[in-house]
């Protein structure tokens, strides 16, 4: 994963014709992590989507080196399939092999649930499944939007271990969260510092 990077320069974001924030600069190189903080509606998810290339920036530049995997509130797993089948769909797209998927399932303590239909999984189990997809992808750049939502203490600790291993292997993690996350010394961006005057 050496060579992974995410570089934001002078990023501004407008939604619904309203300028939300501007002037966001952030450079993450291999092994780097950052945490986005700030109140509801300040634009954390919007910035994540700009980083993923899912939303166009109103100004500035985004430089991405390495594939990106994102986990947000959208589960994007087929409810009618078993957890393994649903994750295998993405593993094929991501170019991940069965061993990588099994490692990700184990990392998120999902092995006992692997044959369960996605629709019966609990909130926290679904969140762990979404994280397993990111882990299995092998993408160096992880974008985690509220990854701790619904996770109990044990699952949060699992997430912390996965993040640590990913960073140690030269990966990059950008997370947005209202709750403390088990990340060691991330760069912290308070998005209120970048709020546009006309943002409500
Ligand atoms: N598709 C859209 N069209 C117009 N406005 C939008 C759209 N999506 C989001 N917004 C607005 O953009 C603003 C920022 O939303 P965003 O989800 O980025 O905030 P956030 O900081 O992640 O909030 P939260 O802490 O609640 O998750 C909000 O005011 C929201 O209503």
Ligand 1 nearest atom to the CA of residue 43, by list position: 18
Ligand 1 nearest atom to the CA of residue 146, by list position: 27
Q: Is the pLDDT score of 75 beyond 80? A: yes
Tokens of 136: 């299995």
C-beta separation of 49 from 144 below 8 A: no
Q: What is the pLDDT of residue 1?
A: 65
Please provide the average confidence, as pLDDT, over all residues in the chain: 94
Residue for token digits 């993690």? 173
C-beta separation of 142 from 166 below 8 A: yes
> For 58-73, how does the pLDDT look when each residue is reduced to its tens digit (9 = 90+)?
999 999 999 999 999 8
Query: Could you tell me which residues are beta bridge partners of residue 68?
Result: 141
What length does the chain have? Answer: 200
Q: Is the pLDDT score of 176 beyond 70? A: yes
Of 27-41, 57-71, 172-186, least confident by mean pLDDT is: 172-186
Ligand 1 nearest atom to the CA of residue 178, by list position: 25
Ligand 1: residue of 24, 39, 44, 74 to mutate (most ligand atoms within 8 A of CB) is: 44
Q: Is the pLDDT score of 109 beyond 80? A: yes
- Provide ipTM, 2 decimals: 0.97
* Coil, strand or helix at 134: helix
Residues 6+ apart with CB under 8 A from 10: 22, 23, 24, 25, 59, 60, 61
C-beta separation of 51 from 9 below 8 A: no
Q: Is the pLDDT score of 199 beyond 80? A: no
Q: What is the pLDDT of residue 79?
A: 93
Query: Could you tell me which residues are beta bridge partners of residue 62?
Result: 8
- The Cβ-side half-sphere exposure at 102, using a 13 Å CA radius, reads 3
> For 133-151, how does the pLDDT look when each residue is reduced to its tens digit (9 = 90+)?
999 999 999 999 999 999 9
């Amino acid at each position: 994963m050496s060579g992974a990077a995410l570089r934001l320069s002078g990023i501004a974001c407008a939604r619904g014709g309203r300028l939300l924030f501007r002037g966001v600069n952030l450079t993450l190189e291999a092994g780097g992590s950052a945490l986005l903080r700030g109140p509801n509606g300040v634009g954390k998810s919007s910035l994540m989507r700009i980083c993923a290339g899912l939303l166009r920036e109103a100004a500035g530049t985004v430089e991405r080196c390495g594939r990106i995997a994102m986990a947000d509130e959208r589960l994007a797993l087929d409810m009618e399939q078993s957890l393994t089948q649903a994750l295998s769909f993405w593993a094929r797209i991501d170019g991940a092999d069965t061993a990588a998927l099994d490692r990700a399932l184990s990392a998120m303590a999902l092995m006992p649930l692997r044959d369960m239909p996605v629709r019966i999984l609990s909130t926290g189990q679904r969140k762990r499944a979404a994280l397993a997809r990111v882990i299995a992808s092998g993408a160096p750049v992880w974008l985690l939007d509220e990854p701790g939502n619904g996770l109990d203490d044990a699952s949060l600790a699992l997430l912390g271990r996965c993040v640590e291993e990913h960073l140690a292997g030269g990966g990059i993690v950008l997370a947005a969260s209202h709750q403390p996350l088990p990340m060691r010394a991330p760069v912290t961006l308070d998005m209120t510092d970048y709020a546009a005057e006309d943002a409500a």
